[in-house]
Amino acid sequence: MANDFDEIRPFAEGEIKQAVESLLADRQFSRMLKGFVPWMPKWMRNGLMRLAFVGVNTPLQFQLRFMKPVVKHILRKCSSGYSFSYSGIAPGPERYTFISNHRDIVLDSAILDLMLYEHHFPTTCEIAIGDNLLIYPWIKTLVKLNKAFTVKRGLSPRELLESSQKMSRYMHYAITEKHENIWIAQREGRAKDSSDQTQESLLKMLAMAGEGSVIDRLKEINLVPLSISYEYDPCDYLKAQEFQQKRDNPAFKKSKQDDLDNMKTGILGKKGRIHYEAMPCINTWLDELAELPKTEVFGEIARRIDQQIHSGYCLFPGNYIALDLLQGTSTHADKYTQKEKQTFEVYLQNRIDLVQIENKDEAFLRERILTMYANPVINKQKALNRIKAVK
């Protein structure tokens, strides 16, 4: 069965050496490395890379040897600290499918892997990544080394069905037979306004494989809603810029270079504080939905996952300030100081100043950025009110 997934799976043991050689032979990858150590000649960079890969035979070893120190370095340089809460799950024999809101193209899963390792979970995650982001061969090789499996985009309806069935089978196989954790975003692409909603189509894909009812199939992969909270989104001004570009030209589409710029900004930009909150596995309540009509099951599951993700947000002063500025009130003034408000307003203007497009609409850009930071407050308040009403 494993051979059925060769087209989408990560590299396996025995394939690492060849993958490394292809990376070192890639000119674009070499130029990327040169950017980190411009003073070092190519022969020395490649020699050090080969030496560093001695003893690395599996993607997990690659993650621990390379990705772990890289991610820790990024967090030291670009964040004010990170934290992880996981009271609803435990480091043990169980494997989980973490389904999360999506804040950063590269780092969402990479930071989760680091946190799982630091909190003694037995393995990291295999990562679902859209093939639209694999715009150069070296990127595809690198992510497959990093335990990523490929989600195909831009397919015809028939191709999409076949691809979804294969991906569902692979994810069930990864959990039950490979004994890997999985990370997947709750929707295709990031919610640019930070109003995170789970796509029912994603849940339907997850339930294509496995045995028994829809409930049984979803229980097999142990879905864990994961809330990701950044104090500052490094790509906030780029998202606002894209909102205006699409407003002014509905046919606007980002270029490959735009995607690369977003990835680079997301990785290297300032993030402030970062918090990950793993909520209880949905298996604790899935059986409650067993009697629902099939047409309603996925909608209700999506709604409950959203409620868990929203209630797990860690809110920062800037979130409350943004909501008050957006609404022209001081309703949440007890959540921040006047100095914090002044700091956030300076930050907001600095982000607007970074936008470089024709016919720049500052009022629109301001509203878009404020909305990004305000929506987590709005959604968390709604989620907590619903939970309170049920109790």
In a shared domain, residues 92 and 230: yes
Report the number of secondary-structure helices (H) and strands (E) in the chain.
Answer: 17, 7
* HEC letters along 110-124: HHHHHHHHHCCCCCC
Residues 343 and 216 in one domain: no
Kindly report, residue by residue over 275-307, the tens digit of the pLDDT: 999 999 999 999 999 999 888 999 999 999 999
**Tens of pLDDT, residues 229-248:** 999 999 999 999 999 999 99
pLDDT confidence of residue 125: 93
Mean pLDDT of 317-337: 98
Residues 335 and 277 reside in one and the same domain: no
Q: Are 162 and 281 within one domain?
A: yes
Q: DSSP for 277-322?
A: EEPPPTHHHHGGGTTS-HHHHHHHHHHHHHHHHHHTPPP-HHHHHH
In this structure, are residues 127 and 148 in contact, taking their beta carbons and an 8 Å threshold?
yes
Residue matched to tokens 């509203």: 367
Q: What mean pLDDT comes out for the span 326-338?
A: 97
Question: Does residue 1 carry a pLDDT above 60?
Answer: no
Please compute, for residue 63, the number of CA atoms within 13 A of its CA located in the half-sphere on the CB side: 25
380 in a structural domain: yes
Average pLDDT over residues 323-335: 98
Query: 30, 9, 10, 32: which is closest to 21 by C-alpha?
Result: 30
Count CA atoms closer than 13 A to 82's CA, side-chain side. 29
Q: 283 and 367: one domain?
A: no
State which of 314, 336, 367 marks the end of a domain. Answer: 314
218 shares a domain with 360: no
Tokens 């800037």 locate to 318
- On whether both 289 and 374 belong to a single domain, the answer is no
Per-residue pLDDT, 2: 60
CB environment 9-22: b (16+ within 10 A), e (fewer): bbbeeeebeebbee
CA–CA gap between residue 177 and residue 10 (Å, rounded): 15
Please check whether residues 229 and 341 belong to one and the same domain. no
Using the 3D structure, point to which of 314, 335, 368 is the last residue of a domain.
314
Higher pLDDT, 199 or 88: 199
Q: Read off the CATH number of the domain in which 78 is found.
A: 3.40.1130.10
Instruction: Answer whether residue 40 is part of any domain.
Output: no
**pLDDT tens column, 41-50:** 877 877 877 7
82 and 225 belong to one structural domain: yes
Do 180 and 77 sit in the same domain of this protein?
Answer: yes
Q: Residue 130: in which H helix or E strand, if any?
A: strand 125-130
342 within domain boundaries: yes
Range of the domain at 369: 318-390
Which residue matches tokens 């700091």?
Answer: 343
pTM value?
0.92
Task: pLDDT band for 37, please (50, 70, 90 cuts).
Answer: low
Which of 69-78, 120-129, 131-140, 367-376 is predicted with the least confidence, judged by mean pLDDT?
A: 131-140
Q: What value does the mean pLDDT of the chain take?
A: 92
Q: Are residues 160 and 293 in the same domain?
A: yes
pLDDT greater than 60 at residue 23: yes
SS3 content of the chain, % helix, strand, coil (to 5): 55, 10, 35
Q: Is position 377 within any domain?
A: yes
Check residues 368 and 25 and name the one with the higher pLDDT.
Answer: 368
Domain end (from 289, 314, 339): 314
Whether residue 156 sits in one domain with residue 291: yes
3-state secondary structure of 360: coil
Query: Which two three-digit tokens encode residue 213?
Result: 């009812």
Count up the domains in the chain and report the number.
2
Q: What's the confidence (pLDDT) of residue 320?
A: 98
Q: Which of 1-5, 138-142, 270-274, 284-288 is least confident?
A: 1-5
pLDDT of 391 reads: 64
In a domain, 163, yes or no: yes
